[in-house]
Each structure stands twice: as C-alpha cells, then as structure tokens.
C-alpha cells in the first residue's frame, strides 16, 4: 500500500475514534441528566423526616455524657449560655432531662392502670394547686316583663388546696454497661423511672395518707349514702358481711350506679382490683345476661352495666366491711396536680460499683368533689 493509502486509513481511524468519544460523552451526559431528574423526583416524593430542633441536639448530647460519665460541662455551658431552658440546675441538685425522655415517662404514667387514667390531671408551676368548689347552683330564676325581680341565692365556695409532693425513683446500672456506646441510656432510664413512678402513684391516689404523698380517696370517711355529707364518701351496702348478697348479688351494683347523681353518671367509671373483677364478671341480670362485657377493641377497657372498668390493684379485696368497688366521675371527683419537669441526679458513690440515678418530680392529688364518687361496702348495712 502506498504512503497516501496509509495516511488515508490513519486519518479515517482517527476520525472514527473522535466520533466514538463524542458519542460516548453524549450518552454519558444524557445518563447523568436522567439520573439527576430521577433523584429530584425521588426527593420531592420522599416523606420528610422529623428534624430535631437546634436547641435539643446539644442538650441530648450533653445529657448523654452526664449520664454515662458524670461529665456535666456541656449541661453547665448550656445553662450559663441560656441556650436551652431544659438544662436548668435545680436548687436541690440535678438536671432537667430532655423533653423526649420526660414525655416517655409521662406517656407510661398516663397509660398505666392508675387513677391517672380517669382523673383530672393539671400541670402547675407552683408548689400547690387550689380548686374552688361551688356547693350551690348559681342563682337564677324566671322573671316576667312587669313582675318584680326576686334576689337569688349567692353561691357558696369551698377552697381545696392540693399540695405537691416529691416523687422519687432511684434506678441503678453498672459503669461497664454505661460505657457501652450501644446501650440506650436515656431509654433505659425513662423505662425504669416510669415503672417506679407508676407503682408509687397508683397506690397513693387510692390509699395515700396525704403526708409527703397525695391523699387517696379511700382515706376519707365512708358513710351510709342516706346520711352523706360533704367531706366524706357515701357508700351502698351489699347486704352481706363479707360478700355480695347470695340471692340477688347484682342488686348492689345497680344500687351503686343509681346512688351517684345523674350529672356524674355520664362520665362515670368503676374502679376495682382483679380479684373483685373476677367475682363481678360472673354476675347476671334477671334475664340471664352478664352485667360485664369485655371490649373487642384493643386498648379499651371492659364495661360493667355500660360503664368502663379501671382495674387498679391497690383497691381492697372483698372482705368484711371492705370498700372494694368505687364508682364515680373521677374527672370531677379527683384531681392530680403535677409539675411537668423531671430531674435526674447522678450518684456514682453510694452504691459502688453501680451508679445510682436519683430521679424526682413533684405531684399531688386529692378529692375535689365528694359528691362525684360513691363506694360499695361489703357489709350488712
């Protein structure tokens, strides 16, 4: 082949290579554009994840460091800078936990088998909560166009003050466990605190003596409904010394329901423990139908005569003169007052080699309407 022929072939090959490179670049560019369009479409359709506020991220990191190692420099820095209201040091010591941990504890308390589930719950910032109770209906009357107006009765108020008391829990963990980065220290702590708080609260709301703890509704005098007065709780007797009446046991339940005023019955609920519930659920009416009906929906309580039943294990067992069943509008009859903050103090010294976490919150409770709660007493009269 001549030199001219070789040059032509070389030139043709060079042109072919150049054309191929151009083609490849064009294909690559189009693929990149298509990928960018797909990514933009995916991002626009992807659900947005919840973002953590700027203020809570440093607090969570600082709290994690404090709980694991006792290093509170981060919490003190946030407190001094005023960047987070959740890092304040309490006068009695300890730090306020982050909102997520506090809400976890609160949700467990609200869903536990405690009077909290049906009572009135209020958040306060003071050391006590006052409730004004009107013992009379606000004066009102009919008036004609030309008739004289008669002066109506003035309302009579009673002030009930609910003191807040310190509720505490002290879970402990080994330092080796705290050093494990995979260990969810705040989740573990929230669960342990919630369990301790729930147990203590449930007992106090029913039988607490009011000394350094809430006052339970069963600590007030129980009097026969026929002679009931404010400051006591009226009861209906079963007709038997330590049980339901053998011939007509369900009559006592019916009498209890209708001993409560009509304005309270719409929001009323039964309160009893598991042993009592086991006896009550066997009862039938005159037509042979069970008074007790189990809920078919998860999370909803069973019903007795159409009213919800709260199973509270701190209620007394059936026995001589025991008030083992309560029925009433506890939203009106019992009020729980609490401060929303939860404090934790780390103690690595008192239980070596374990670390104690002293958690506290302030809560109180008391009867605020003595007409809204009635009791069933297992007695002849």
**Residue boundaries of the structural domains of the chain:** 56-125+162-209+340-364, 217-337+368-377
Q: For position 368, what pLDDT does the model report?
A: 94
3-state secondary structure of 341: coil
Q: For position 232, what pLDDT does the model report?
A: 96
**Residue ranges in the chain whose pLDDT is less than 50:** 41-55, 83-88, 90-91, 138
Q: For position 203, what pLDDT does the model report?
A: 94
What would the pLDDT profile of 85-131 be if each residue is shown by its tens digit? 444 454 455 788 777 778 888 887 877 778 999 999 999 988 899 98
252, 205, 273: which is closest to 378 by C-alpha? 252
Which residue's structure tokens are 């308390």? 109
302, 308, 310, 315: CA torsion to nearest 10: -110
CA distance linking residue 255 with residue 381, whole number of Å: 13
Segment 83-88 long-range contacts (CB within 8 Å, at least 24 positions apart) = 83/55, 83/58, 84/55, 84/56, 84/58, 84/59, 86/55, 86/56, 86/59, 87/59, 87/62
Q: For position 181, what pLDDT does the model report?
A: 81
pTM: 0.75
Asked whether the beta carbons of 238 and 318 are under 8 A apart, the reply is no
CATH, domain range 217-337+368-377? 3.30.2320.10
201, 205, 193: which is closest to 104 by C-alpha? 193
Which residue's structure tokens are 């006792």? 70
Q: For position 102, what pLDDT does the model report?
A: 82
- Specify burial of residue 268 (Cβ count, 10 A radius: 0-12, 13-18, 19+): buried
Q: For position 3, what pLDDT does the model report?
A: 53
- H/E run at residue 149: none
Q: For position 202, what pLDDT does the model report?
A: 93
Q: For position 335, what pLDDT does the model report?
A: 96
3-state secondary structure of 91: coil
């Amino acid at each position: 082949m001549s030199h001219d022929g070789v040059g032509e072939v070389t030139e043709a090959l060079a042109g072919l290579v150049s054309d191929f490179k151009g083609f490849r670049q064009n294909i690559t560019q189009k693929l990149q554009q298509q990928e960018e369009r797909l990514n933009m479409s995916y991002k626009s359709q992807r659900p947005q994840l919840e973002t953590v506020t700027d203020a809570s991220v440093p607090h969570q990191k600082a709290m994690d460091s404090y709980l694991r190692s006792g290093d509170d420099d981060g919490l003190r820095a946030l407190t001094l800078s005023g960047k987070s209201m959740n890092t304040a040091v309490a006068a009695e010591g300890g730090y306020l936990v982050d909102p997520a941990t506090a809400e976890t504890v609160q949700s467990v308390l609200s869903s536990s088998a405690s009077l909290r589930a049906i009572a009135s719950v209020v958040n306060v910032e003071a050391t006590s909560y006052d409730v004004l109770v009107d013992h009379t209906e606000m004066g009102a009357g009919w008036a004609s166009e030309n008739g004289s107006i008669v002066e109506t009765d003035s309302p009579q108020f009673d002030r009930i003050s609910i003191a807040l008391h310190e509720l505490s829990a002290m879970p402990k963990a080994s330092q080796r466990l705290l050093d494990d980065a995979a260990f969810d220290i705040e989740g573990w702590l929230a669960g342990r605190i919630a369990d301790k708080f729930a147990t203590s609260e449930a007992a106090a709301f029913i039988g607490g003596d009011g000394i350094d703890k809430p006052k339970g509704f069963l600590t007030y005098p129980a009097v026969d409904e026929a002679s009931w007065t404010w400051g006591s709780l009226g009861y209906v007797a079963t007709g038997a010394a330590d049980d339901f009446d053998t011939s007509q046991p369900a009559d006592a339940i019916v009498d209890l329901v209708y001993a409560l005023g009509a304005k309270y019955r719409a929001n009323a609920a039964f309160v009893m423990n598991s042993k009592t519930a086991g006896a009550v659920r066997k009862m039938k009416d005159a037509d042979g139908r069970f008074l007790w009906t189990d809920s078919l929906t998860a999370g909803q309580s069973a019903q007795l005569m159409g009213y919800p039943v709260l199973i509270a294990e701190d209620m007394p067992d059936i026995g001589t003169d025991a008030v083992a069943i309560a029925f009433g509008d506890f939203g009106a009859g019992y009020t729980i007052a609490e401060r929303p903050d939860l404090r934790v103090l780390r103690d690595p010294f008192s239980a070596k080699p374990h670390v104690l976490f002293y958690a506290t919150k302030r809560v109180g409770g008391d009867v605020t309407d003595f007409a809204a709660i009635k009791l069933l007493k297992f007695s002849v009269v």
